[in-house]
Amino acid sequence: MQVTFSKEAIEQLTPKLHDNKDRLLKLKYDTDGCGCVMSGVTAMWLVEKEDQGDVKLDTNLVPLLVEKNKMVFLDEQLTVSYNETANSFMLKSPSQILNPRMSLLVK
Nearest to 23 by CA among 42, 57, 50: 50
Per-residue pLDDT of the chain (107 residues; tens, 9 = 90+): 999 999 999 999 999 999 999 999 999 987 555 444 455 789 999 999 999 999 999 999 999 999 998 888 889 999 999 999 999 999 999 999 999 999 899 98
C-alpha to C-alpha distances, 57 to 25, 32, 33, 34, 90, nearest whole angstrom = 10, 24, 27, 26, 18
